[in-house]
Amino acid sequence: MAVAETTSGRAGRSEGGRWRRTWEGISIIFRSGVAVVGLVVILFWVFVAILAPLLAPHDPLAQDSSAINQAPSSRYPLGTDNLGRDILSRLIYGSRTILILAPLSVLASVAVGIFLGLLGGYSGGLVDEIVMRILDAIMAFPTILLYLIIISAIGPSALNVVLAITFVGAPGVARLVRSLTLDIRTRDYIRAAETRGENRFYIMFFEILPNARGPIIIDSMLRVGYAIFSIGTLGFLGLGLPPPTPDWGGMISEARKFIWTNPLGVLWPALAISSLVVALNLFADGLREESTRYN
């Protein structure tokens, strides 16, 4: 009976400690006013994307030939574009495109970058040289040029945008993970795992990676902002999602031809992209400052 009670008590304390550590990690966000401001704006766009069918007053693809490049009105609160489509509805549905493609792109680039960074950093020697030289060669090209080459070769589509951003973003993640790995692999618990006979991939993914997750998570948040900007840039250049899909970058590209007669057509999607990118940067910066202070 005493043994059972002792075991139960230990389990309760362990569970309580786990919840306490989780809450302490979450509470870091609310210690930074900058992070909270960023989080509020991010959550605003997330809810807009989720509730798009309820919030959009019109079909984002519907055209009204009698209301081309119309100023804001009671029927069209933000006006219409050059095809008579409601700008507000296209902004609302465009948030879905951005908030799906950007995180997917970053998730894919982080997964590839983590694998390459861990492999090069832990293995060292020839493996490290080969991996890093290939990544350096990719990073030597201007980002926009790489996007142009990749999308022009495989064609514009949602999947190809994700692939392009993954290819361009993975080397930066890999360099970060490699630098963290070079530091962590010298720690005593890594030597202990090697002494126990653990294999290379266990040490990389179960010993090194968990202890490098903080900087990787914060860097990933920043990269979501960069991905949003990249998606907008590709849409502006006509290399993003094919029309008539609501795309903030594509909306800017179409509206710029009529900027003197309908400047609001450019302003609204530009403000949407800016607000989301700035919010993500504020959130990541605030979280990084508080994490450094907390640790």
Q: Where are the domains of the chain?
A: 87-294
Residue 5 has pLDDT above 60, yes or no: no
> What distance in Å separates the CA atoms of residue 168 and residue 191, rounded to the nearest whole number?
34
Which of the four pLDDT bands, split at 50, 70 and 90, describes residue 19?
low
Helix 125-139 to helix 87-123 angle, to the nearest 10 degrees? 150
* CA dihedral over 207, 211, 212, 214, signed as positive or negative: positive
Beta bridge partners of 80: 86
pLDDT, residue 287, reads 79
Sequence-ordered alpha helix ranges (H) in the chain? 2-30, 33-50, 52-55, 87-123, 125-139, 143-154, 158-184, 188-196, 200-202, 213-236, 248-255, 264-294
Tell me the average pLDDT of the chain: 85
Decide: helix, strand or coil at residue 198: coil
Average pLDDT over residues 96-116: 93
CB of 283 closer than 8 Å to CB of 42:
yes
User: What separation in angstroms does the CA of 144 have from each of 61, 153, 279?
Assistant: 29, 14, 23
Residue 106 has pLDDT above 70, yes or no: yes
pLDDT (tens digit per residue) in 55-83: 999 999 988 888 888 889 889 999 998 88
> What distance in Å separates the CA atoms of residue 202 and residue 174, rounded to the nearest whole number?
18
Task: Determine phi and psi for 141, rounding to 5 degrees.
Answer: -80, 140
CB of 166 closer than 8 Å to CB of 109:
yes
> What distance in Å separates the CA atoms of residue 70 and residue 63, rounded to the nearest whole number?
12
User: What separation in angstroms does the CA of 24 have from each of 29, 43, 204, 212, 221?
Assistant: 9, 21, 27, 18, 20
Instruction: Give me the DSSP letters along 18-46.
Output: HHHHHHHHHHHHHT-HHHHHHHHHHHHHH
Residue 195 has pLDDT above 90, yes or no: no
Decide: helix, strand or coil at residue 295: coil
DSSP conformation class of 210: G
Q: Which residue in this structure is represented by tokens 């360099």?
A: 175
pLDDT, residue 31, reads 74
CB of 246 closer than 8 Å to CB of 60:
yes
Q: Which residue in this structure is represented by tokens 């219409």?
A: 80
Q: Between these two residues, 20 and 7, which has the higher pLDDT value?
A: 20
The token pair at 122 is: 């832990």
Which of the four pLDDT bands, split at 50, 70 and 90, describes residue 108?
very high
Give the CA angle between residues 197, 202, 204 to the nearest 5°.
115
Kindly report whether the peptide bond that precedes residue 244 is cis, defined as omega within 30 degrees of 0.
yes
> What distance in Å separates the CA atoms of residue 97 and residue 16, rounded to the nearest whole number?
40
Task: Report the share of the chain in percent with pLDDT over 70.
Answer: 88
Domain 87-294 classification at class level: mainly alpha
> What distance in Å separates the CA atoms of residue 156 and residue 41, rounded to the nearest whole number?
29
pTM, whole model, 2 decimals?
0.83
